[in-house]
Structure 1
Amino acid sequence: MILKHRTRGLGTKIAELIICPIYANLPTELQAKIFEPTPEGARKVVLATNIAETSLTIDGIKYVVDPGFCKIKSYNPRTGMESLLVNPISKASAMQRAGRSGRTGPGKCFRLYTAYNYHHDLEDNTVPEIQRTNLANVVLTLKSLGIHDLVNFDFMDPPPSEALLKALEQLFALSALNSRGELTKVGRRMAEFPLDPMLSKMIVASEKYKCSEEVISIAAMLSVGNSIFYRPKDKQVHADNARKNFHSGFVGDHIALLNVYNCWKETDFSTQWCYENYIQVRSMKRARDIRDQLEGLLERVEIEPTSNPGDLDAIKKAITSGFFHHSAKLQKSGAYRTVKNPQTVHIHPSSGLAEYHPRGLSTMNLCLPQRICDRLLN
């Protein structure tokens, strides 16, 4: 927006400037614009996230501006929360970014930091993901393979011991491990699903509440990430109204995602319906593929496919069976306080519950620490 405003102010003093953003959640047709040939007498500016470091090469890029920062997902074992934090890049990333310039001809990279910063402040390599992520799924997989001595396991990049202990504690709370750290029957069923253990427990619990069809739809939609809804800059109000329609009846984000999938299914998986409701077709197709795989895995773990669309309480109970660890209660101040490891959190601004104040929450990723929420709102 700033670039568009500046170029509009300069008028005809400069040549036409084509501004193309590129990030993972951008719809495919808009991503394709960055590869279109630049018209004669015009210049192209590509505003990219880390996706441009290694995932793609754009012809004709001569100049790269490297700000020296990136957003990295980090897991805090003490709070049990993942955050997307802005961190300085590594020297390896800096070299990758410089390599984007002049791939097909001479080029330059302009770094917005000094040579001193590069040599003294930047790490040689990016911290491996295993050292900054929730290890519950890794531990469950290792246990299912018969590897019990996790402390002395020969990891290529050993994760923090605190993260391993947190993972064991979480799996015990989910009934995947017994008091001796051995896999239970529930744990063996959970290990069959290539999902976060909380999602796996949610699916296993759905057998009890007779709603496995609905729960695997929710699990598939959550597995896609935050790329279901699309909010174009010039149609934000329309996109927000379309999204609110799926939250009718004061339902949480999980039920809203189920409503999205069911409505899409009723339209025979219509692409046009996705465009009209500002929903990304690519993400929905991926969710459908994941759901088909989960449906096949239900048979493997001997869970009978059952449907109970009218009983939202049963679906919520199945969800809470997996995500009770993330439950929070409303305080008199209007903020929420997590039940385990008390911490003040707020509902994420993008959540459908942001306008309301339910007395309790049990969510996967709708609660944010106070400092992060303040940054998003300001």
Structure 2
Amino acid sequence: MALVPGSPEEANDLLTGSPEKTCLLDGSDSSDVDQGLLDDLELNPFDGLPYSSRFYELLKQREKLPVWKSKYVFLESLLDNQIVVVSGGAKSGKSSQIPQWCAEFCLSVNNRHGTVVCTQVQRQTAVWLAMRVADELDVNIGHEVGYVVPFENCCTNDTVLRYCTDEMLLREMMSNPLLSSYGVIIIDDVYELSVSTDVLLAFLRDILLARPELKVVIISPPGLSSKIVSYYGNVPLVEVESAYSAEVVYTSAIQRGYFHAALRLLFEIHHTQEKGDVVVFLACEQKPLTDFQQEARCRNPTMDPLSPLPLYPHQSLPNTAIRGAWTYGIVIDPRRKVVLTTMEFAEKDMKPFLTPKVEESNLTSMVLFLKRMDIAGLGHCEFINRPDPESLMQALEDLDYLAALDNDGNLSEFGIIMSEFPLDPQLSKSILAACEFDCVDEMLTLAAMVTAPNCFLDSAQEGDVTKPGDRRKFLHPAGDHFTLINIYREYETMKISNASEYDIERWCQDHGLNHTALEMARVIRAELLDTMKRIELPVSDPAFGSDENIMNIKKSLLSGYFMQIARDVDGLGNYIMLTHKQVGQLHPHSGYCLNQNLPEWVLFHEFSVAERSCIRIASEISPDLFMQLVPQYYFSNLPPSESKELLQKALDASAPPAPQDDCEDDVETEDEEQEQRCSVQ
């Protein structure tokens, strides 16, 4: 069969790169092609080695995926266009197969212009997909196929296809604004509507103009595809058939006891004895499983047993159905979807997709990044989802308070340094302040601990602190931040003592600690230390434990987190935020709750309305120290409150009496002192 240069058949020959039995564009079976052609394709084009038997086993599975039917339509579109939108439902194979085809495209003879990157919102998904695709391509993970997620890079210079989180690709843009090392950029997980993905979608419009050879693929759910096609100017759309159909059934009235309603429906489905699994999404963890087991014992004993498998996705909700289920309850199996709500409620009040994060998230980190990209001439972009104007203004105001902006509203030199750290701007500011207060070593440890996953195991989180060797031994009287430093220091001591991994894991288990989280904290701290050295910032020697060091750590924290202060207004643990007057309680896992000793004023790392309005990671702070370090223009803009009045009294009490004879000079001197006091701000 002759191949016409530039034809789809030539694309097939160049892009396949493996002995796959596939359907050619003319409808014939590739097994009918001359056997000599297949012999030429027996070597893996990614590593030059013969394929293993597992490759062929997985190939048979891949060919059954719904996306496989659209392979050559997609390749034609990619060959002839700069941007392609792929639309399809879940479990169609888009996230695993399309990046492979794009990698084959970049390896083909006529298209050697860079490698392939595919973004994901969740780091776990990026890692899993990279491992799966490496297996399917018959190569080693970390070589031809790899992944880049926060604080973990599993790639080499020879990596052809890399999966990464959307935020990591944004960080790469700070040093490579046009992403010139990539020939194909794939944006996946668009349905998550994350802030980072929205920023990438906006920047890619300018990057495509600057790089005509670049190819961009957007993988979208069907409901968003038309919006994306229009956003990029009516680009080609490849639609993938869905492998699953769903039947939606509504109740006649809202179910108040949604759990028991879902349970009844579950047993009704089970009673039909149809094959398949059932997934029930609920809002709580412990009680449903107990109730399920009790109910199951009362049902028909002749039926096959139901085996419950609890899964806890927590905040990582993959789609709108799951988010809705968190409130109303959903039962799903491969053939049907049953939503326990009325049709009227579903059509009127349930949104088809998640609310875009740029409309409801704190945008301070995003605005800092945009300001950084403005230096490269890419700061102005039109978002596919419009950010909330009030959130944008608040983000600009917060960056101004953190001294990240100059008088013209551009990124200051201080702001440029802050943007170098892969952290929240407030935490970056605290690390930079630690350079002045000579406690960098401790702040790097603390930054790593609050950035890593929660270091406490579930048993400890549930308040099980009665066994010997519990985490009370780590509690520090200065607060939760210092408790985290204590934990890390003891863990690090175990590591450098050459203790075996078994002993270290056993030590973690005995103290209710998460070994994986602590190991992640070590990795994060090492990367932060490398960043400090790269930009030539001073790193102090360890001094944890002295009164001076404790005070310096608090000063460093206040330099970044002065906007996160709360006061116990009634002595019962009801803390009111200084900024927005919301009320919250210390998290039950806080050392203050364990010791039943609640401070009046606290600086906190996180406040979560979703988690019963809890304040997480809090440390006591004095009004005097707060007033010493807070930017005055921030304090003057605080809304009137009892807390503000108390802080003003603390300031007035600490101010020296003004001499009667040269008031004008005193005012000038006071302004100079204030300017010096806020130099780190």
* Fold conserved between structures, TM > 0.5: yes
CA 1:148–1:220: 2 relative to 1, 3 Å: same
CA 1:155–1:279: 2 relative to 1, 3 Å: same
Match of 1:329 in 2: 567
Match of 1:276 in 2: 510
CA 1:146–1:282: 2 relative to 1, 3 Å: same
Task: Give, in angstroms, the shift of residue 53 of structure 1.
Answer: 6.0
Unaligned runs of 5+ in 1: 18-39, 56-64, 71-85
TM superposition score normalised by structure 1: 0.71
The residue type equivalent to 1:188 in the other structure is: I
Q: Are residue 128 (structure 1) and residue 369 (structure 2) matched?
A: no
Task: Give, in angstroms, the shift of residue 356 of structure 1.
Answer: 1.9
CA 1:145–1:257: 2 relative to 1, 3 Å: same
Range that drifts further, 187-196 or 295-304: 295-304
- Residue by residue over 1:112-159, the C-alpha shift from the partner in whole angstroms, topping out at 9 and shown as x without a partner, is 212333222211210122222111111111111226999963122121
Match of 2:599 in 1: 358
Q: Are residue 224 (structure 1) and residue 452 (structure 2) matched?
A: yes
Q: Are residue 312 (structure 1) and residue 539 (structure 2) matched?
A: no
Q: Are residue 243 (structure 1) and residue 471 (structure 2) matched?
A: yes
TM superposition score normalised by structure 2: 0.41
DSSP 3-state at the match of 1:268: helix
Match of 2:578 in 1: 339
Q: Give the Cα–Cα distance (whole angstroms) in 1 for the partners of residues 559 and 411 of structure 2.
A: 18
DSSP 3-state at the match of 1:68: helix
Coordinate RMSD, CA, aligned: 3.7
Match of 1:161 in 2: 389
**Residues 62-101 of structure 1 aligned to structure 2 (within 5 Å):** 68-70=324-326, 98=332, 101=333
CA 1:317–1:108: 2 relative to 1, 3 Å: same
1:146 equivalent among 374, 397, 408: 374
- Residue by residue over 1:193-235, the C-alpha shift from the partner in whole angstroms, topping out at 9 and shown as x without a partner, is 011000000111110111111111111111124x211133998
- Residue by residue over 1:228-260, the C-alpha shift from the partner in whole angstroms, topping out at 9 and shown as x without a partner, is 111339982447972322214x23111111111
The residue type equivalent to 2:555 in the other structure is: K
CA 1:243–1:132: 2 relative to 1, 3 Å: farther
Match of 1:296 in 2: 530
Task: Give, in angstroms, the shift of residue 49 of structure 1.
Answer: 3.5
The answer to whether the 8 Å contact 1:142/1:148 transfers is no
Aligned length: 313
CA 1:369–1:358: 2 relative to 1, 3 Å: farther
The answer to whether the 8 Å contact 1:67/1:112 transfers is no
Task: Give, in angstroms, the shift of residue 362 of structure 1.
Answer: 1.2
Match of 1:33 in 2: none
Match of 1:37 in 2: none
Unaligned runs of 5+ in 2: 1-285, 497-503, 616-681
Q: Give the Cα–Cα distance (whole angstroms) in 1 for the partners of residues 491 and 300 of structure 2.
A: 46
Q: Give the Cα–Cα distance (whole angstroms) in 2 for the partners of residues 281 and 15 of structure 1.
A: 42
The residue type equivalent to 1:112 in the other structure is: L
Structure index of larger Rg: 2
Task: Give, in angstroms, the shift of residue 54 of structure 1.
Answer: 4.4
- Residue by residue over 1:284-315, the C-alpha shift from the partner in whole angstroms, topping out at 9 and shown as x without a partner, is 12211111110110012221221221321111
The answer to whether the 8 Å contact 1:239/1:278 transfers is no
DSSP 3-state at the match of 1:365: strand
Task: Give, in angstroms, the shift of residue 168 of structure 1.
Answer: 0.8
DSSP 3-state at the match of 1:337: strand
Identity %: 26
DSSP 3-state at the match of 2:566: strand
DSSP 3-state at the match of 2:310: strand
Task: Give, in angstroms, the shift of residue 52 of structure 1.
Answer: 8.3
Q: Give the Cα–Cα distance (whole angstroms) in 2 for the partners of residues 210 and 230 of structure 1.
A: 33
Q: Give the Cα–Cα distance (whole angstroms) in 1 for the partners of residues 322 and 300 of structure 2.
A: 23
Q: Give the Cα–Cα distance (whole angstroms) in 1 for the partners of residues 401 and 424 of structure 2.
A: 14
1:205 equivalent among 430, 433, 439: 433
The higher relative CO (CA closer than 8 Å, separation ≥ 6) is in: 1
DSSP 3-state at the match of 2:451: helix
Q: Give the Cα–Cα distance (whole angstroms) in 2 for the partners of residues 232 and 164 of structure 1.
A: 40
Match of 2:489 in 1: 262
Q: Give the Cα–Cα distance (whole angstroms) in 2 for the partners of residues 292 and 199 of structure 1.
A: 16
DSSP 3-state at the match of 1:145: helix
The answer to whether the 8 Å contact 2:465/2:472 transfers is no
The answer to whether the 8 Å contact 2:568/2:599 transfers is yes
- Residue by residue over 1:335-368, the C-alpha shift from the partner in whole angstroms, topping out at 9 and shown as x without a partner, is 3333334444432333222322213211111586
Q: Are residue 49 (structure 1) and residue 305 (structure 2) matched?
A: no
CA 1:235–1:204: 2 relative to 1, 3 Å: closer
The residue type equivalent to 1:44 in the other structure is: P
The answer to whether the 8 Å contact 1:337/1:344 transfers is yes
CA 1:44–1:338: 2 relative to 1, 3 Å: closer
Q: Give the Cα–Cα distance (whole angstroms) in 2 for the partners of residues 160 and 178 of structure 1.
A: 23
DSSP 3-state at the match of 1:193: coil
- Residue by residue over 1:77-98, the C-alpha shift from the partner in whole angstroms, topping out at 9 and shown as x without a partner, is xxxxxxxxx6x79xxxx8xx85
DSSP 3-state at the match of 2:567: strand
